[in-house]
Amino acid sequence: MTNGTLIGNRYEIVETIGKGGMAIVYKAKCQILNRYVALKVLRPEYREDKDFISRFKVEAQSAGSLSHPNVVSIYDVVQDDELDYIVMEYVEGVTLKQYIEAKGNIPWREAVDYAAQICAGLDHAHKKGIVHKDIKPHNVIITREGTLKITDFGIAKVMSSSTITTGNTTMGSVHYFSPEQARGGYTDVKTDIYSLGVVLYEMVTGKLPFEGDTAIAVAMQHIEKEAILPSVLAPDIPKSLENVIRRAMSKEKAMRYDSVMQMLVDLKKVYTGNEVTFASNVTGNTIVTPIIKTEENDTENLSSSDSSNRKKDILSVLAGTAAGIVLVVLLFFLGYFLIGGGAADIPLPNFVGLTAEEAKEQVKDTKLVLTFEEEESDTVAVGTIIRQEPKAEKKVKENATIKLFISADKEGDNTSGELKTFSMPDLLNKNRADAEEILRKDDIVFSVVEEESETVWEDCVLRQTPTAGTEIDAATTVTIYVGVAKEKEMAEVPNLLGLSLEEAKEDLLGAGLNWGNIIEAESNKPAGTVLSQSIRPGVELKSETSIDLKVSKGAKATPEPTAEPAVSTPAPTTKPSIVIGPPNAGGAE
């Protein structure tokens, strides 16, 4: 399908973003709502296959009922004469698998946060009766905000499904198979828990627990082999985190978490530095499995000629067994009276974090007596055991009484195990440290995303997910976005000398700089010509820095010549001549 193709007169194909076994995923633009969506289009070769069509519909029906921040939303399901496709939320980001491959391995705190988000999404699905059955990092998308979204419920079925195999096609990815999936057995929520354990193992170690040349070889390892301990590959992870992974990846379903919510509670303990223990039947890397010979096997190994000897052997074994039983009984009663009641010292299990029912289940095969007392708590889920007396691992008599303190709200009677709900606090414009303290107080798993900003103070909360006032519980994963100083790019100062003012401004903007003060000065240069700049050319500055300019007012004007005043020369003063001679000389009287 080429880019630009219009599907259903509504969705314009933009690009291909993924290819799976039974469908191709395209990024498309909805012409009506003017938004991008993801179209999952069934491959043409499978349209006539009723089995694939059925599974395709199941995916849409299963995932379409889910609405959760950690699950990709389904908008529509379309079947026409040409195509079968699902319209889904388009999520910008990378798959968790791509992220692991790029990083090598993920720091354990970040991995715990991601696992907690997956738990939250799966818990929502499990409560609606949907098991994903194909949890792997390829089916988890990390958005740019750090939110994880589970996608591709392509093999998810309602919990009443009894097998992971349809026809001759084994579903899912074998590297993340649970042992029951590998055997083709019954699957339920614990299948997703095992697969999530494998994903968490891969996140913190950067490696898959089992590798092999064929799918069968890998599947057999899930059934028979114990994985290398995560701490061997990642020595920096806490022992509590390793215990969470080992419990989630237990071969025996009975030893795994009963729900993803239980696993989430332990992940929160790991994140906050509290202890998580796990008792398994595994020593080192070897599974302790009793070898039991069946009558059928014995028959195959014995010939008919040995039948009489076998009867004698059986009688001897029976006689020896009876004698052994008598001896054990005698020793038991002897110890009972000598030691005082016969109660042996046994290490006490850790009940912290369990519900009352889970605690009772843990001691159902013992003689321990449990008593419960409610205790108010704002940080521990209602119905969860806060502490115990005596403490875990302490040795007690097998008929000892153990006092357990159950978290209760202020009304004090809720022991259902449901998490207490409360309103999401308003963290906007708060200091990062203050916001984190508020979230830790409520024991909320959260992540912090730094965003460059020029409009707020450093480490100030810009926004939050969920928004203030949203109803949440202690299992909700919160993301806060805090501002950090935006790193400006560097720009080289251009040579502006001799340019006109307008040309200089253009060159400054083109270089990513601004102009500052414009100073006019007398000059013989034409008006507006740049005479000098405050920072010399070639210097590198942060972008948007201002440069002051001195420009010419124009050529200096020549003054008009000034007329000089006329100067008159005074006539010399004539003095009377003095005549010396006889009187009346020169004339007659």
Residues 544 and 467 in one domain: no
- CB crowding 216-240: b at 16 or more within 10 Å, else e: eebbbbbeeebbebbbebbeebbeb
pLDDT of 232 > 50? The answer is yes
pLDDT at 22 over 50: yes
Does 316 map to a domain? no
Residues whose CB falls within 8 Å of the CB of residue 239, separated by 6 or more in sequence, listed in order? 231
**340 lies in some domain:** no
Among 548, 566, 581, the domain-final residue is 548
Residues 273, 160, single domain; the answer is: yes
* Distances in whole angstroms, Cα of residue 413 to Cα of each of 373, 383, 403, 417, 572: 11, 9, 18, 11, 136
pLDDT value, residue 542: 78
Residues 100 and 223 in one domain: yes
User: Which region among 165-174, 238-247, 540-549 has the lowest average model confidence (pLDDT)?
Assistant: 165-174
Residues 257 and 352 in one domain: no
Which parts of 303-365 fold into alpha helices (H)? 307-339, 356-362
Over 70: is that where the pLDDT of 269 sits? yes
- The type of residue at 584 is N
Asked if residue 382 belongs to a domain, the reply is: yes
From residue 313, alpha-carbon distances to 54, 292, 295 in Å are 58, 18, 14
Judge whether 459 counts as a catalytic residue: no
Q: Is 296 contained in some domain? A: no
Helix (H) or strand (E) holding 508: helix 501-510
Specify the pairing of strand 140-143 against strand 157-158: unpaired
Note the pLDDT of residue 145.
84
Q: Is residue 573 part of a domain?
A: no
Residue 324's pLDDT is what?
45
Q: How confident is residue 418, by pLDDT bands cut at 50, 70 and 90?
A: low
Q: Which has more pLDDT, 12 or 187?
A: 12
Q: Edge-to-edge, what's the strand order for the sheet holding 148-150?
A: 93-95, 140-143, 148-150
* Distance from chain centroid for Cα 404: 34
Q: Are 249 and 202 in contact (CB under 8 A)?
A: no
- How many CB atoms neighbour CB 555 within 10 A? 12
pLDDT, one tens digit per residue, over 153-169 is 755 443 333 333 333 33
Among 19-28, 50-59, 122-131, the range scoring the smallest mean pLDDT is 50-59
Strands (DSSP E) contained in 391-503 are 395-397, 401-408, 421-423, 446-453, 461-465, 471-473, 478-485, 490-492
Partners of 41 in the β-ladder: 24, 85
Which of 515, 530, 548 is the last residue in one of the domains? 548
Looking at the structure, tell me whether residues 231 and 259 fall in a common domain. yes
**Do 479 and 499 have their domain in common?**
no
Residues 60 and 105 in one domain: no
Which of 408, 434, 449 terminates a domain? The answer is 408
Query: What mean pLDDT do residues 524-534 have?
Result: 91
* Residue 293 in domain: no
Q: Is residue 86 located within the same domain as residue 97?
A: no
Most confident of 147-161, 187-201, 487-501: 187-201
Contact call for residues 135 and 177 (beta carbons, < 8 A): no
Nearest to 263 by CA among 115, 370, 408, 413: 115
More confident residue, 573 or 402: 402
Q: Are residues 68 and 149 in the same domain?
A: no
Same domain, 34 and 125: no
In this structure, what CATH number is given to the domain that contains residue 399?
3.30.10.20
Asked if 115 and 201 count as a contact pair (C-beta separation under 8 A), the reply is: no
242-246, 431-435, 497-501, 584-588: which has the minimum mean pLDDT?
A: 584-588
For helices 239-248 and 189-205, the axis angle rounded to 10 degrees is: 140
DSSP SS3 for 467: coil
* Stretch 351-364: mean pLDDT: 81
Percent of the chain residues past pLDDT 70, beyond the cut = 73
Listed in sequence order, the residues at least 6 apart from 494 whose beta carbon sits closer than 8 Å to its beta carbon are: 507, 508, 510, 511, 537
Residue range 57-116, pLDDT digits in tens: 766 766 777 889 999 988 888 877 778 888 999 998 899 999 999 999 999 999 999 999
Q: Average the pLDDT over 258-262 and give the result.
A: 93
What is the model's pLDDT at position 578?
A: 38
Cα separation, 251 vs 246, whole angstroms:
9
The answer to whether residues 280 and 157 belong to one domain is: yes
pLDDT band at 562 (very low <50, low <70, confident <90, very high): low
> Of the listed 134, 192, 266, 442, which one is catalytic?
134
Domain assignment present for residue 561? The answer is no
- In angstroms, the CA 244 to CA 257 distance is 9
- Range of 395's domain? 345-408
Mean pLDDT value across the chain: 77
Burial class of residue 185 (count of CB atoms within 10 Å of its CB; 0-12, 13-18, 19+):
middle
Choose the most confident range, by mean pLDDT, from 117-121, 433-437, 450-454: 117-121
Counts of helices then strands in the chain (DSSP H, E) = 14, 30
Number of structural domains found in the chain: 5
Residue of 149, 125, 200, 147 lying closest to 478 (CA atoms): 147
Residues contacting 154, CB < 8 A, separation 6+: 20, 22, 23, 55, 56, 59, 134
CA dist 434 and 427 (Å) reads: 9
- Same domain? 20 vs 159: no
Q: Are strands 385-389 and 286-287 parallel, antiparallel or unpaired?
A: unpaired
pLDDT at 337 exceeding the cut of 80:
no
How big is the chain, counted in residues? 589
Task: Give residue 186's pLDDT band: very low, low, confident or very high (50, 70, 90).
Answer: confident
Cβ atoms of 511 and 539 closer than 8 Å: no
Confidence of residue 531 (pLDDT cuts 50, 70, 90): very high
CATH number, position 81: 3.30.200.20
| pLDDT at site 346 | 75
| Interatomic CA distance for residues 374 and 414, integer angstroms | 9
Whichever domain contains 212, its CATH number is 1.10.510.10
Does 581 fall in a domain?
Answer: no
Best-predicted range by mean pLDDT (250-254, 289-293, 542-546)? 250-254
Residue 569 clears pLDDT 90, i.e. is over it: no
